[in-house]
């Protein structure tokens, strides 16, 4: 029964995501975009920069999700919806990433204030790796939580439940606006202006978690069996359907909003690529 409970919670969470709209008082902040002037390179260059960050650091040899008690349901919990809207209690494994996410946002703000430079995706990954002491799955979870809370301020239940220092239920609005100035602009072909680049950013990191989990638990990583094979295929299918599912949600709740289909797909492949690189370079 304990193995079934996370799946039941996830189904409930997915249903809630389709019926609870994003807080309207935060919508104006989302629509404010700075003049980025500096943008991320193409996805293949972003991936090369991420690999470069790993090559320059000591990486913990424990690269599987299972090494840290993480399951695919933990990745799906992040992807399905915001914790403030779902009503589902975050697991202890998710809570353990909250402290890293808080420290990471402070570090990103500090780096930006001291250097005046935008912080690209590769550098974000490197900073997260340092804080996670080389544990790649933990770094990815921290990046997903940090960027999502800063961009949308709807994961406060995770941070309150974790009781981490200097966290709050809501990421202050002034801090949300300032945080938009930190990363490089992330725009994909087909994005409609005004581009929600921080939305693209947190979608990329969330999807990287999901892609990494897909490989960690996939058949190619020594996890045979028909059920596991089907779960992997479902994971791939969900990422091909992200945009139409989001559009369906907006239709149901009678709201307007954009999708982040390109960011989702690029992030998913980046997560898969990170795991493949680590597996190929195991000592």
CA–CA distance, 117 with 222 (Å, rounded to integer): 43
Beta carbons of 209 and 264 less than 8 angstroms apart: no
Structure-token pair, residue 248: 């369906």
Beta carbons of 90 and 157 less than 8 angstroms apart: yes
**Buried/exposed code over 91-129 (b: 16+ C-beta within 10 A; e: otherwise):** bebbbbbbbbbbbbbebbbebbeeeeebbbbbbbbbbbb
Across 198-212, average pLDDT: 92
Q: Residue 16 — pLDDT band, cuts 50, 70, 90? A: low
Across 146-169, average pLDDT: 84
What pLDDT does 239 receive? 61
67-116 per-position pLDDT tens digit: 888 877 777 777 667 888 777 777 888 888 899 999 999 999 999 999 99
CA–CA distance, 275 with 211 (Å, rounded to integer): 9
Please provide the average confidence, as pLDDT, over all residues in the chain.
81
Q: What backbone phi and psi angles, to 5 degrees, belong to 154?
A: -130, 20
Q: Three-class SS of residue 183? A: strand
The count of other CB atoms within 10 Å of the CB of residue 178 is 15
Q: Three-class SS of residue 223? A: coil
Helix (H) or strand (E) holding 133: none
Structure pTM? Answer: 0.86
CA–CA distance, 70 with 137 (Å, rounded to integer): 9
Q: Residue 244 — pLDDT band, cuts 50, 70, 90? A: low
* Extents of the domains making up the chain: 35-280
Beta carbons of 50 and 123 less than 8 angstroms apart: no
Does 2 have pLDDT greater than 50? no
């Amino acid at each position: 029964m304990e193995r079934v409970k996370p799946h039941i919670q996830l189904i409930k969470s997915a249903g809630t995501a389709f019926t609870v709209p994003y807080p309207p008082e935060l919508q104006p902040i989302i629509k404010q975009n700075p003049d980025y002037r500096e943008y991320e390179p193409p996805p293949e260059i972003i991936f090369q920069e991420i690999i470069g960050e790993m090559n320059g650091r000591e990486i913990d040899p424990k690269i599987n999700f299972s090494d840290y008690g993480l399951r695919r349901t933990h990745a799906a919990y992040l992807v399905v919806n915001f914790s403030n809207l779902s009503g589902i209690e975050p697991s202890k494994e998710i809570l353990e990433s909250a402290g890293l996410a808080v420290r990471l946002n402070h570090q990103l703000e500090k780096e930006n204030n001291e250097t005046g430079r935008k912080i690209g995706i590769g550098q974000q990954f490197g900073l997260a790796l340092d804080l996670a002491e080389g544990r790649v799955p933990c770094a990815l979870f921290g990046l997903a939580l940090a960027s999502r809370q800063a961009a949308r301020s709807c994961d406060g239940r995770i941070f309150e439940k974790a009781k981490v220092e200097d966290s709050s239920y809501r990421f202050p609005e002034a801090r949300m606006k300032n945080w938009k100035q930190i990363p490089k602009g992330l725009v994909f072909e087909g994005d409609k202006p005004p581009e929600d680049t921080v939305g693209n950013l947190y979608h990329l990191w969330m999807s990287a978690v999901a892609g990494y989990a897909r490989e960690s638990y996939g058949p190619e990583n020594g996890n045979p069996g028909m059920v596991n094979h089907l779960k992997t295929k479902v994971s791939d299918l969900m990422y091909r359907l992200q945009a139409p599912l989001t559009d369906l949600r907006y239709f149901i709740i009678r709201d307007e909003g954009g999708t982040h289909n390109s960011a989702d797909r690029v992030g998913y492949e980046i997560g898969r690529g990170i795991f493949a690189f680590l597996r190929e370079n195991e000592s």
